[in-house]
Copies of this chain bind each other. A is one copy, B any other.
Amino acid sequence: MLRYECTGTDGKARRGRLLTARGEVHTPAFMPVGTAGTVKGVTPAQLVSAGAQMVLANTYHLMLRPGAETVERLGGLHALMAWPGPVLTDSGGYQVFSLAHMRKLDDTGVTFQSHVDGSQVTLTPARAVEIQRRLGADVMMQLDECPPGRADKDHVAAAVRRSIRWARLCRDAWEAPFGPAAARHSRQGRPQALFGIQQGGTHRDLRAESAAALVELDLPGYAVGGLSVGEGHDAMCSVLDAVDEQLPADRPRYLMGVGEPRDILAAVRRGIDMFDCVLPTRNGRNAQAFTWQGRLRLRNAQWAADPRPIDEACDCYTCRHYARGTLRHLFLAREMLGPTLVTIHNLHFFASLMAAIRAAIEAGTLDEDARRWAERLCPDQGPRA
């Protein structure tokens, strides 16, 4: 099972621990994204040494390839990924709405075309749970409807209500998939938690309605969905301002798909505990390195003969062994090792950022520290955190 323990606060920010059957996660925590069953370009051993505690995998991608049944036959997602620590799977909903060629959406679910083989695939709340039971993650997410960032309020309201109905159906499938014996457990027989997902766009009344209905379901954790879809930093902060009163203090709070260091800092200060984002891995593959002084574009000619590491204060594998000049060379020569090495550095940076945030909460200095960090991390975006 999964339990959240808050061990200290600093304003609304919470220092805590997520206790899972596969180990403890110190929160606030960042989850690297392993879309298709691997965090792109790195081995689990490299993930561990980069400081990752828990990873996310995408149900949408895995259900289409290699398929949930195949993952189950290979021993489940932990065996597939060779990752013994905690894993969270999304429900696939977000990708269906953002990536797939959609065919049909109604109250029963959503039917779309597979990008792998063109076949018709239907995702219902019960099926989303069943697929995630086969994958066997420690945390599964409800199926929700994710309206586009610019949807009008009626559309968002309808999505909120549909997502609430789907949350109930997911809860039912999770509670009693084939009778109570299998309840709340994966097909591998391991405990599995279900998180609900708050929707509502930037509308405070819809966010409140969504949260209230989900909280009634008494789920092990709650996510804030539908943000980081183009609404901007300030609008995101306004939504998050209400999180502390809308979601229960004794459950973990997960902000989906975020993200930018500045957004993470702002969200932690408003009471968020968990994050996931492709930023460290995707930007790493594109030669962009995160540092406490801002970002480096490693393809730039200025680094050609620079023997310094990405960050002289960083103790990741990449910074202990490789010069900026070498990394630039690896990218220009299209060597796979370039993306791997910068991904390792970026994952280490995000883990270090979260560790610094946890230490600041413990010290009671988060407000001040976060403002200072945000200034250095995003000089182009201004100091707001």
Contact pick for A65, options B43, B317, B329, CB 8 Å: B329
The stretch from A153-161, A240-248, A337-345, A364-372 touching chain B is: A337-345
Known A73-B325, A329-B37, A329-B66: A337·B305 in contact at CB below 8 Å: no
Asked if A317 and B43 sit within 8 Å, CB to CB, the answer is yes
Query: At the interface with chain B, which of A74-82, A162-170, A186-194?
Result: A74-82
A317 and B335 CA atoms in complex are apart in Å by 21
Contact assessment for B40 and A304 in the assembled complex, using a CB-CB cutoff below 8 Å: no
Chain B contacts of A333 at CB under 8 A? 36-37, 61, 65
Report how many residues on chain A are interfacial, defined by Cβ distance under 8 Å.
Answer: 40
Does A321 have its Cβ within 8 Å of any Cβ on chain B?
A: yes
Question: Which of the residues B42, B325, B335 comes within 8 Å of A337, measured between beta carbons?
Answer: B42
Expressed in whole angstroms, the minimum distance between the Cβ of A83 and any Cβ of chain B is: 9
Whether A41 is near chain B, meaning CB under 8 Å from some CB there, is yes
The reply to whether A70 and B304 form a contact with Cβ atoms under 8 Å apart is yes
**A73-B307, A80-B329 as given contacts; A341 in contact with B43, CB under 8 Å:** yes
Most buried by B among A36, A65, A304, A337: A337
Say whether A219 faces chain B, with CB atoms less than 8 Å apart: no
Write the nearest CB–CB distance from A222 to chain B, whole angstroms.
Answer: 31
CB closest chain-B residue, reference A65: B333
Question: Quick one: which of A26-73 are within 8 Å of B by CB?
Answer: 36-38, 40-46, 61, 65-66, 70, 73
Q: How far is the CA of A43 from the CA of B336 in the complex (A)?
A: 10
Contact of A336 among B44, B65, B305, B336 (CB under 8 A): B336
Query: Could you show 27 A-B contacts with beta carbons less than 8 Å apart?
Result: A36-B329, A36-B330, A36-B333, A36-B335, A37-B329, A37-B330, A37-B333, A37-B335, A38-B330, A41-B336, A41-B337, A43-B321, A61-B333, A65-B333, A66-B328, A70-B304, A73-B305, A74-B323, A74-B325, A75-B307, A75-B323, A79-B326, A80-B329, A82-B322, A82-B326, A336-B339, A336-B340
